[in-house]
Each structure stands twice: as structure tokens, then as C-alpha cells.
């Protein structure tokens, strides 16, 4: 079984929790969709609501994750033969793990796979890829960014696009292979080559490694590589 998954959250801090789950399952050419709001007892701050458009009032009478239809479905199919596909899927699964779901099957991360297979993309957010790769042409209904089921649909379309370039097995392997990033995508050196910055401002890169605790693991790997700390 393939499960395309997206989770929206109350925020990005350790104390934050999932507040909505979108699932599209595919097995024997049969599709099933699940979308639920869930209440894990953590209030949503306005900053998170401005992104996912979920409010505390909307969650007031919703079940917690373990009482949800999504939890029942995921638990029933929590086996090695199941593959969960998501964009930065480790984040989604980490959020669900906080709520009591520990996945045992295979995962495919379309974010990392896209970085490996289409490195020339300027950005790798799901919404950017939706338009850069013209995935929107496959959409049969209006989708809302940062709506869990809409994003699960875009993940499915991206996965099918990547399958035209690779195999399911390779996508799974690439999901755990670190990406060597050439350029900065943000900050004062946005658009500049990391290798160049390692020669003219080594201290800045060392500061990033020491002070940005949530630094993207591929960017951390790339900085360490260009600083000569790994080979």
C-alpha cells in the first residue's frame, strides 16, 4: 500500500503538535482519502493559523489523534509492506510519533528525492514545485496550500512525476541520502556558492553550524563538506 501523507501543526517548536492530517491511500488501484482536524490539547498561535487557516475554535470539539479515523487507518496498515510518501515526511512522522504513532514501514521523502533528481530547481518547497514542474495541470479540483489533504494530493502528483525519472526503490534510497547543496537559498549570501563563502567568510559558516540548532540537515552536511570537515 502507498499512503500519501501531510500533517499540519500548531507550530514548529518541540511542544507543538499535529492539528490536521490528510491521507490518500492507493492499493490495488483503489484510492481512499481521509481528512481530519485533531485536537492534541495545544493551542494554535496566530502565526500558525495564518499559514494553515486552522483556528482554535475549529479544533474545540475535535478528537485527539488516537481517537481519530486517521490513527485507526494508519495503525491498521502499519506494516513493512506499507510505504508512506510525504514532502519532508520525517517531520510529519515525528509529529505523529509525539501523538503515539510509530511507523514501521518504508518511507519516501519527495523533498530529498527532488533535490537529488532535479538539483537545478531554485527552490524545493511543495508549492514552488507544484508550479515549477507544472503539477497543477493534473489537479482535478481546487487545492488550498497548507491544507493537509490538498498537500497530500500535490505530494501524490510529485511522486508520480519523480517516478518518470526513477524507480520507487531508488526514491526510497535517495530519501536517506544526504544532498550536497551548492548555493545558499537564504540569508546574506543567498544565491552565492557555499564553496566560495567557505574561502572568503569561513567564520560565518562556522557560526551557522554552532548557533542554528534547527539548520536543515542537508545544508549542515554541505557546509561541513565545503569546510573540509567531512570527505
Phi, psi of 106 (to 5 degrees): -90, 150
Distance CA 168, CA 163 (A): 7
Give 116's contacts (C-beta < 8 A, 6+ positions apart). 174, 177, 179
Whats the size of the chain, residue-wise? 231
Residues 113-139 pLDDT 10s: 999 999 988 889 999 999 999 999 999
Which candidate, 67, 95, 68, 90, places its Cα nearest to that of 8? 95
3-state secondary structure at position 171: helix
Q: What is the mean pLDDT of each run of 10 residues along the chain (231 residues)?
A: 97 93 93 96 94 96 96 97 97 96 97 94 93 94 93 97 97 96 88 94 95 90 91 62
| Mean pLDDT estimate for the chain | 94
> What is the pLDDT at residue 33?
97
So what's the pLDDT on residue 90? Answer: 94
Name the pTM for this structure.
Answer: 0.91
Max Cα–Cα distance, the chain, nearest Å = 56
Q: What share of the chain is helix, strand, coil (3-state, %, to 5)?
A: 45, 15, 40
Give the architecture (CATH level 2) of 2-174: 2-Layer Sandwich (3.30)
Cα of 121 vs its chain's centroid, Å: 17
pLDDT of residue 21: 98
Task: Judge whether 161 and 117 are in contact, CB under 8 Å.
Answer: no
Q: Where are the domains of the chain?
A: 2-174, 178-231
> Residue 213's pLDDT is what?
83
Query: What would the pLDDT profile of 42-51 be if each residue is shown by its tens digit?
Result: 999 999 999 9
Q: Percent of the chain having pLDDT more than 70?
A: 100
Phi, psi dihedral angles at 61 (to 5 degrees):
-110, 20
Instruction: Give the model's pLDDT for residue 164.
Output: 96
pLDDT confidence of residue 41: 94
The CA distance from 98 to 175, in Å, is 22
Amino acid at each position: 500500500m502507498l499512503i500519501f501523507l501531510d500533517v499540519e501543526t500548531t507550530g514548529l517548536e518541540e511542544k507543538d503538535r499535529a492539528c490536521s492530517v490528510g491521507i490518500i491511500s492507493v492499493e490495488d488501484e483503489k484510492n481512499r482519502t481521509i481528512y481530519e482536524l485533531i485536537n492534541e490539547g495545544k493551542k494554535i498561535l496566530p502565526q500558525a493559523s495564518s499559514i494553515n487557516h486552522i483556528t482554535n475554535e475549529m479544533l474545540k470539539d475535535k478528537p485527539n489523534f488516537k481517537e481519530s479515523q486517521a490513527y485507526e487507518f494508519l495503525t491498521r496498515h502499519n506494516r513493512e509492506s506499507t510505504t508512506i510518501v510525504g514532502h519532508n515526511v520525517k517531520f510529519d512522522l515525528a509529529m505523529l510519533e509525539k501523538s503515539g504513532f510509530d511507523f514501521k514501514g518504508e518511507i519516501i521523502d519527495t523533498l530529498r528525492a527532488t533535490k537529488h533528481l532535479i538539483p537545478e530547481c531554485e527552490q524545493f518547497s511543495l508549492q514552488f514545485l507544484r508550479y515549477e514542474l507544472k503539477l497543477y495541470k493534473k489537479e482535478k479540483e481546487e487545492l488550498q496550500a497548507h491544507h493537509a489533504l490538498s498537500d497530500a494530493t500535490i505530494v501524490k502528483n510529485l511522486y508520480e512525476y519523480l517516478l518518470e525519472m526513477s524507480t520507487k526503490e531508488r526514491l526510497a534510497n535517495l530519501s536517506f541520502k544526504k544532498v550536497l547543496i551548492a548555493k545558499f537559498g537564504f540569508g546574506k549570501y543567498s544565491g552565492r556558492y557555499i564553496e566560495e563563502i567557505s574561502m572568503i567568510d569561513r567564520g560565518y559558516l562556522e557560526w551557522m553550524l554552532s548557533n542554528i540548532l534547527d539548520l536543515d540537515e542537508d545544508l549542515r552536511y554541505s557546509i561541513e563538506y565545503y569546510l573540509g570537515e567531512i570527505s
